[in-house]
Amino acid sequence: MAINVNPTRMELTKLKRRLITARRGHKLLKDKRDELMKQFLEIVRENKSLRELVESKLGGVYNNFLVASAVMSNQVLEQAIMFPKHRVEIELGTKNIMSVNVPIFNTNTDNMNGDLFPYGFYGTSEELDNSVESLKNLLPQLLELAQKEKSAQLLAAEIEKTRRRVNALEYVMIPQMTDKIRFITMKLDENERGNLTRLMKVKDMMIKQQLEVKAQ
């Protein structure tokens, strides 16, 4: 492989400094990648257990709603849930995990202490009441699940980006700089040996001339 570099001591010094910086950066990026993986796996485990819990509770909500839709007419059911009494506002914040800004969801619900049900109990079923109440109680867990899944997605993207940088340093930049340093060192040593050989030849010629002069 041809190495295009100027074999001078100044270039050698510059490359050695760059190599030290690259190795330091490589170590820092590896540490960052490992910590990101640790955080990612922890979030994935939490996300798995939370998803199972949410899916289980949602299954109960759907079952109650199916029973309610079976015992109530479509018109009564639509009128019952047409005008909800509660309004939920979601505030988006962020938390920094190893230079990755992951989302934090906070809720602000109006009429928290008021009547939850936007309909009268006459003509509606108990299963509908259970569905509405269960959904209200499940909302914080749904938001937490969305928060963890988005966090896992962002961390996975950062892990992949960091992994590419680590590989670029480990398998491309550092080997290239090492080869250039080795090439320059060999060239400088070769030049030094050539200069030493020439000096020795000059010295031998001068000694030979002095002996010839003395012989005359």
Asked if residue 81 is part of any domain, the answer here is: yes
Q: What is the pTM of this model?
A: 0.76
| Cα 114 from Cα 111, distance rounded (Å) | 5
Is 1 inside any structural domain? Answer: no
Domain total of the chain:
1
- Nearest-5° angle of CA 18, CA 19, CA 21? 65
| Domain limits for position 55 | 9-205
Please report, for the domain that includes residue 183, its CATH number: 1.10.287.3240
Write the DSSP symbol of residue 173.
I
Is the pLDDT confidence value at 108 over 60?
Answer: yes
Residue 3 lies inside a defined structural domain of this protein = no
pLDDT at 49: 94
For residues 121 and 130, the answer to whether their CB atoms sit within 8 Å is no
> If we measure between CA atoms, which residue out of 53, 47, 52, 51 comes closest to residue 155?
47
Within a domain: 30: yes
CA 44 → CA 30, 127, 147, distances in Å?
A: 21, 34, 12
In a domain, 214, yes or no: no
Which whole number is the average pLDDT over 141-158?
94
CB 134 within 8 A of CB 62: no
**Strand ranges (E), 25-157:** 88-97, 100-109
Residue 187 counted as domain residue? yes
Q: State the pLDDT at residue 202.
A: 76
Q: Nearest 5°: CA angle at 18, between 15 and 19?
A: 85
Q: Are 138 and 33 in contact (CB under 8 A)?
A: no
In this predicted model, which residue has the larger pLDDT, 128 or 40? Answer: 40
User: Which residues sit opposite 90 in a β-bridge?
Assistant: 107
Q: Quote the pLDDT of residue 5.
A: 78
pLDDT band at 115 (very low <50, low <70, confident <90, very high): low
Residue 119 near residue 80 (C-beta atoms within 8 A): yes
pLDDT digits 0-9 by tens, 42-61: 999 999 999 999 999 999 98
Whether 116 maps to a domain, the answer reads: yes
